[in-house]
Structure 1
Amino acid sequence: MTLRIVLSGVESVGKSTLAADLAAHFNAALVPEYGRTYCEGLDRPLTPADLTAIAEGHARGAHRAMQQAPACLIEDTDILMTAAWARMLFGAPQPDLAAWPSHAHLHLLLLPDVPFVSDPVRVFGDPGQRLAFHRHVVAEFIERRTSLVPVGGGWDARRARAIAAIESCL
């Protein structure tokens, strides 16, 4: 059986960097963040249909990775984050996303306690917006009754906490 680990959290908390680092550390397969790639090619605001397309794209990437039967799979976000984006952007859950299950065995929630780094794709850099987005992410976990491991602090502390959480599942 493949141990599936998902990194969640708002923008600019180090998910992509930590996911790649953890995949290397554990010799795990990595599913990169599909939403970022999707948004980099978009020249308009996201729509609900875009979020469904992002969820589908991520699912395809995870399915391809699972075909290799890795012992461990690290996913840079999953359906929970896509559903949280719907809450943040449109003010309510998106039914098709809310019904879509996560297949993770372990969810690591990276906390927004590191500085925001702006780039052309990131949207919610304002501290108030960032905190509101984090609350939407937490609400998604609560409504789905999905447990999570909070990962905060500086970069070294995040890495150590994530490694310890994964090792506890091995």
Structure 2
Amino acid sequence: MEQRGTKSGERQRMRNLLLSRDRLARTLAANFTGGDLLVTLTYQAGPWPRSRELARQQVRQWIGSISALRRAKGMAAKYVYLLGTEQAGSLVHRIILNRGKESADMLGHPWPYGPVYVGPLDLSQQGQALASELLRQPLQAGHSPLPCARLWVSSRGIHHT
């Protein structure tokens, strides 16, 4: 029997991933619609962030600037974001963002590190399939999370079911 605070066994780790996927799927279904946005923030070839924590700080700054733009227009920003790794090993942020009145150019403007891809959120897939795809990215290149680490982060106004 494993003691508390020790690294999880493989079965428990897989169970935790399935529970995280299910919770993410329920959260997306409860808070977002097909008209919302799937934003991908990438890094150009060159100096990537030295750590995943620095990458998280950079995406938080970007979300803060988008939230400030929206507050100035009287709108709120609801989001869920994940930090993933592409096949080439570079970091990528995937953000599900409620639809606002800003253009795609405005979304890309405050991200100075590389290209920004904005597309409609495709909820025609089952929520489980979308959540699985989003969670696969952070785990694919061997970046398994630390014990008890969350793979995704949401804004304050998000309802968790």
Please classify the TM superposition score into its range, dividing by the shorter chain length: 0.3 to 0.5
More helix by share: 1
Identify which of structures 1 and 2 has the higher relative contact order when contacts are C-alpha pairs closer than 8 Å and 6+ apart: 2
Of structures 1 and 2, the larger Rg is shown by 2
TM-score, normalised on structure 1? Answer: 0.32
User: What TM-score, normalized by structure 2, do the two folds share?
Assistant: 0.33
